[in-house]
Amino acid sequence: MSKNLTSRSVDYSKWYNELVVKADLAENSAVRGCMVIKPYGFAIWEKMQAELDRMFKETGHQNAYFPLFVPRSLFEAEEKNAEGFAKECAIVTHYRLQNDPDNAGKLRVDPEAKLEEELVIRPTSEAIIWNTYKGWIQSYRDLPILINQWANVVRWEMRTRLFLRTAEFLWQEGHTAHATKEEAMQEAELMNNVYAEFAEKFMAMPVIKGIKTESERFAGAEETFCIEALMQDGKALQAGTSHFLGQNFAKAFDVKFMNKEGKQDYVWATSWGVSTRLMGALIMTHSDDKGLVLPPNLAPYHVVIVPIYKSDEQLDEINAAAEDLMIELKANNISVKYDNRTTHRPGAKFAQYELQGVPLRVAIGPKDLENGTFELARRDTLTKEIIEKDKIISKISDLLTEMQDALFQRAVEFRETHTTEVDTFDEFKKVLEEKTGFISAHWDGTAETEDKIKELTKATIRCIPIYESEKAGECVYSGNPSKRRVLFAKAY
């Protein structure tokens, strides 16, 4: 556990990989591209899930569950969606193993147990869900349908990284059905706003709300809303997307309804999702060379208490003081872990909790018992102070709020200093290479220019920001007229 991490300035990517493993968040499994999410990492994901689930329910959504498998004939029904995912699907072709006649004790696929139609493991569930909605919708009275599911999906990625890009990942996918285009469009934007609120309030991660260019849209969408965040290494990360799907899936699966005027029309759709990728975003927004830094709102526990003792009697006394403190903390909705393992020294424990990003550490030693104090250490600033016993609860409570705000503010400042307006392509390239971050530049609105810039610089248009006034100018690459600036960056 205790070996130091590679420093971020030396190799950011290596630092990230080491941190994920050493902080006990996740590790690679025996299955190519698939990860094991370890209990500490999963506890953070559970906190995220709980908040998102609450927000979905508050906006009128219900959870449901649809099959893991998509029969090939359904998968291919919506052409663009199928095309977008066909090259990275895991495919079930057989349903039985048998003893290998050539290899005692080994199994092989039973050639006689071949499926008539192959099953695609869902890379996303529009196809299976819209095929189901067909049976649920006859009239406008059956609309809207506002459903979410928490599920695993599989995309056979060739280059994978823990949390950021894995063959199997966990996510939620909302799939809604509406009677009108306007309502569907509003829903898609609403859910993008929910994601933004979650990212900022809970992850303490500032995001830009925007829409994707046509070439960056979800396969099968007519409009993709997104939230884009900036990581510490100056690369952008798409943290969530919400799609207005038009009537594409309704047409592919023949889902019509009788509208209020008594006429048949195709149903309007949205889908929206965030995934365990958010864990990667969380790590790369706040953490440092000592390890994970967690915003208190998502920390599995806010406080860890570590006893410092030389004798068993001392430990007994400290145990009693710790018990009292824990009762008070819990009564104030502050979650706490007491680590009085006798198999590890305090130094090792300090290092572990720094690595794991526990927001606050309370150390209790014999001197503290004498003086009626605690030593309180703050993970984000790595500062310590001595606090009197009767002030500890209010201090901890205040600090948790302060840290949540401070982490957000620090990330906002980082993003502000790493967002650069540029007006020439030379400057564009220079900023991208030297300063990194978001580049705000004029773009002529064509896919050709977008592709060319990507080819030359590896930067993509992350989004066309919403809520920014449109000011015309000239495209940074082509010099052609541009309606407004868009955000470019290299991205995860």
Which of 1, 10, 64, 320 contacts a copy of itself by CB under 8 A?
A: 64
Cα first-last separation, the chain: 28
Binding pattern for the stretch 189-228 against a copy of itself, x by CB under 8 A and - elsewhere: ----------------------------------------
Q: Based on CB atoms, which residue is closest to a copy of itself, 31 or 447?
A: 31
**What is the enclosing helix (H) or strand (E) of 321?**
helix 312-331
Q: Is the dihedral of CA 353, 238, 461, 483 positive or negative?
A: negative
Task: To the nearest 10°, report the CA torsion of 394, 321, 301, 40.
Answer: 160
Which of 7, 11, 54, 97 contacts a copy of itself by CB under 8 A?
A: 97
Q: How far apart are CA 174 and CA 270, in angstroms?
A: 8
Sorted by sequence, the CB contacts under 8 Å of residue 112 that are 6+ apart come out as 96
**Shortest separation between residue 74's beta carbon and a copy of itself, angstroms:** 6
Sorted by sequence, the CB contacts under 8 Å of residue 135 that are 6+ apart come out as none
Which of 19, 20, 35, 432 contacts a copy of itself by CB under 8 A?
A: 35
Choose among 159, 94, 84: nearest CA to 124: 84
Binding pattern for the stretch 120-159 against a copy of itself, x by CB under 8 A and - elsewhere: xx------x--xx--x-----x-----x---xx-x-x---
* Strand segments (E) across 259-302: 264-266, 268-275
**Shortest separation between residue 19's beta carbon and a copy of itself, angstroms:** 18
**Shortest separation between residue 411's beta carbon and a copy of itself, angstroms:** 27
Stretch that binds a copy of itself, among 30-38, 281-289, 313-321, 332-340 (CB under 8 A): 30-38
Q: How far apart are CA 309 and CA 364, in angstroms?
A: 8
Cβ–Cβ under 8 Å, residues 273 and 172 = yes
Q: How far apart are CA 309 and CA 316, in angstroms?
A: 9
Which of 82, 194, 283, 358 contacts a copy of itself by CB under 8 A?
A: 82
Check residue 386 for interaction with a copy of itself (CB under 8 A): no
Check residue 89 for interaction with a copy of itself (CB under 8 A): yes
Stretch that binds a copy of itself, among 41-49, 212-220, 379-387, 435-443 (CB under 8 A): 41-49
Which of 18, 76, 328, 474 contacts a copy of itself by CB under 8 A?
A: 76
Instruction: Report the DSSP beta bridge partners of residue 386.
Output: 375
Which of 19, 37, 219, 396 contacts a copy of itself by CB under 8 A?
A: 37
Which of 11, 54, 60, 94 contacts a copy of itself by CB under 8 A?
A: 94
Q: How far apart are CA 275 and CA 270, in angstroms?
A: 17
Check residue 106 for interaction with a copy of itself (CB under 8 A): yes
> If you ran DSSP here, which 8-state letter would residue 105 be given?
T
Q: How far apart are CA 458 and CA 385, in angstroms?
A: 46
Which of 109, 190, 348, 412 contacts a copy of itself by CB under 8 A?
A: 109
Binding pattern for the stretch 335-374 against a copy of itself, x by CB under 8 A and - elsewhere: --------x-------------------------------
Residue type, 297: N
Site of tokens 């889902």: 255
Which of 4, 63, 332, 424 contacts a copy of itself by CB under 8 A?
A: 63
**Shortest separation between residue 165's beta carbon and a copy of itself, angstroms:** 15
Which of 1, 10, 36, 386 contacts a copy of itself by CB under 8 A?
A: 36
Which of 15, 66, 218, 353 contacts a copy of itself by CB under 8 A?
A: 66
Q: How far apart are CA 90 and CA 26, in angstroms?
A: 22
CB atoms within 10 A of CB 275: 20
Q: Based on CB atoms, which residue is closest to a copy of itself, 20 or 121?
A: 121
Q: Which long-range contacts (CB under 8 A, 24 or more apart) does 340-347 make?
A: 340/307, 340/315, 342/315, 346/306, 346/307, 346/308
Q: How far apart are CA 9 and CA 180, in angstroms?
A: 51
Q: Based on CB atoms, which residue is closest to a copy of itself, 112 or 434?
A: 112
Q: How far apart are CA 376 and CA 365, in angstroms?
A: 12
Which of 69, 266, 414, 425 contacts a copy of itself by CB under 8 A?
A: 69
Q: For binding to a copy of itself (CB under 8 A), which residues are involved?
A: 27, 29-31, 34-39, 42-43, 45-46, 62-72, 74-76, 79, 82, 86-98, 105-109, 118-121, 128, 131-132, 135, 141, 147, 151-152, 154, 156, 168, 170, 343
